[in-house]
Chains A and B, each alone.
Chain A
């Protein structure tokens, strides 16, 4: 086992980034056009990085699987984006945003990265306003802020419930301008299927044109992956259907370490499971818990309609168990308790995988109009999808996988363990530790793309120079052959189960045993079950070909193959981490009153896994986490 070097600059935390900027090499403006950069993904991180690098004068090739770069899943983020502007004059500062993020991540993030994130947060808001992003404003015309996700200061900027959409369209505009300038060559409906590495450096990618099925080789001096998170390993999640792990998984198999794969965030207030054919759990804002009371019938199997169940036969389990925080306990605590109730047979709705979120008391207290003003759009959305009226009957909610804090390991420069391979946004592991604060994902994606990678990439290129490996190099040909034979293999199996069917089964294993709460026995079982399911997949999946046209079932089959591998690694990582932390409860590490117990003695580190071959146990590398600026403390919500 080797210790990993995060390359954190020396000096006091507030000076590290500035010092590093002075120490890194620059690339002369006239020389930047001699460098070719590949960016994969056009969410907040990828679009902002592509635009910024093109503005600087690099030649950029940008790839996305959607039909347009405007559609990446960042677009679905609702709540907002944090920044330490202190416009609300309530005592916010860079240091406080840093402190809250480290603490919110349950002390499993790297201090120096988080501090830099807080530092550049203010530049992001300036940049977005200059692009014409229509943030909410006060009557005086200045920017409005709200408190979000339990923060004690109002630092969240928002554009109605569509903040992600507006920020992404801003970055998409900047990207579009560079496409028009000829500085970015855009490849929509292209999927990266391999990373090409030669002589210890990332050299380019193999991408499949999803319309024609052709495999293309693209060489570059550096590759930036900004391909998002892997919540779809759970099958049902709040992610878009095309979200997948494949790009970073191929990089993992080529030598990039995968950090903290078991750190996933499960959001408590998504729409419920209503059918076995459901493909999606839509997120609803957590703010609903400010006025909604969570309950289930006291008697398991009680199938009466909610309004027919008398008060004394309702179990308000969060209020009873957590008297001081009640329904406002943190995301993971709310999610875990809801799932426990459903596992115990008290779940409601058509599949028994839901709990009630009841607004009757709030409506009696404040009136229907007041509740409509606060949550009208959410109630409308609920009514549209579930066809019940939350003003009359309680809502049903269920926890859903939402965000993945784990991802490829990167150093302070956002470079992976493969030189020349950078990883941005949700695809890397770096800033959120074991749990992400609300309104921080948008901040991180844009920080990485606008304000970090453009500088650190120059630092790398300044030292490493141009890549001397072109598309005619044997490494590209080998990669193309490997991808081709994988596609042929998938098409040749001709079994009896659909990709969806096997994916649903993987999702159930992950949700039950590698999700909110886990234990040694369950994780060992999960590993066996995933291995057996992978075997089943490669023997018995049915994929319709040929591959020379648009084939969604073929794309999904390739992605599922990678999810099956990832699922096992997540279980291995969870098994190794014998502590409870962040969003997860390890049942062996639980206090007598049922609270999560973190183990700083043994687990105050990043677990970075190294691929060592198919069927071979991955190697574990640890990056110790040192907290010099925030004191390690245990949380309590009792």
Chain B
């Protein structure tokens, strides 16, 4: 961790024009980086220089810059979102690096996430998994009074732990199988814990798992790196709950085949 006001760094950053381009690492020196700024602001700072030099700026996804929208994400020195625990890339600050550091930056890699350009990937597969059943089927206007359905506080809190997932895909990028199991299980677990989720429980878990396979994600073999990479610290206990839901559905239910 740097106590200096500014540092000079060397970036080895992935450059790729589009999905068809094979891509390559480019080495760029960035001088006079203020340590107060965030990692993404360092990339902005570099991009302004590149633009004025008539060079291609580095494209990267980002939006809220406060760790909640799930848009940003890249693998920094081998770790999705960088080495700080429970942080998204936009929350990582340059004071975490030292003068003369070389920093390797590459996109989230997975068969299901095609590279769009440079550090940007296509994560629409995660939307497709939600579309397969990651919701409760209730039309607008059809709801009973909110307090008609008491839910034990600890269940609601546990459901909230799962619902905290921001859909960034770091779990996929960290997994040796490129499995989306932490993502899928977070949604299945949230609804499995709530009474509202029960009517569709069987159909939901089977449909979401099928879609995950269909999109080209791998399966879970309990490496647990996803939990470590998750910026919201979603626990793999949700995968355990997912597995129970899946067993129940696969063994005992005839519906939704």
Contact = CB atoms under 8 A, between A and B. Distances in A.
A134 B64 contact: no
B117 A549 contact: yes
Nearest to A189: B116
Interface in B33-71: 34, 36-38, 40-41, 44-45, 47-48, 51-52, 54-57, 59, 61-66, 68-71
A124 B85 CA distance: 36
Contact of B44 (A140, A165, A279): A279
Contacts of A131: 135-136, 138, 196
Given A131-B135, A172-B130, A500-B44, A242 B153 contact: no
A143 B146 contact: yes
A324 B138 CA distance: 48
Interface residues of B, number: 77
Contact of B143 (A129, A173, A186): A129
Interface string A254-283: 000000000000000000001101111011
Nearest to B60: A552
A542 B52 contact: yes
Given A68-B123, A241-B63, A552 B57 contact: yes
Contact of A387 (B93, B122, B137, B139): B93
Contacts of A125: 146
Contacts, number: 216
A550 interface: yes
Nearest to B95: A387
Contacts of B127: 68-70, 176, 186, 188
B190 interface: yes
Interface stretch (A48-56, A292-300, A302-310, A586-594): A48-56
Given A180-B131, A277-B34, A280-B65, A134 B147 contact: no
Interface string A551-574: 111000000000000000000000
A549 B54 contact: no
Contacts of B137: 177
A129 B149 contact: yes
B136 A173 contact: yes
Nearest to A275: B36
B28 interface: no
B136 to A, nearest CB: 5
Contacts of B116: 211, 550
Given A75-B69, A135-B156, A549-B17, A169 B163 contact: yes
Interface of B: 17-18, 34, 36-38, 40-41, 44-45, 47-48, 51-52, 54-57, 59, 61-66, 68-71, 84, 87, 91, 93, 95, 116-117, 120, 122-124, 126-127, 130-132, 134-147, 149-153, 156-157, 159-160, 163-164, 166-167, 190-191, 194, 196-197
14 contacts: A55-B140, A68-B124, A71-B63, A71-B69, A126-B144, A127-B138, A127-B141, A130-B138, A141-B150, A165-B164, A173-B135, A177-B131, A385-B93, A542-B52
Given A67-B122, A277-B45, 11 more contacts: A52-B139, A134-B163, A135-B146, A275-B36, A279-B65, A387-B95, A454-B140, A496-B52, A498-B51, A498-B52, A549-B17
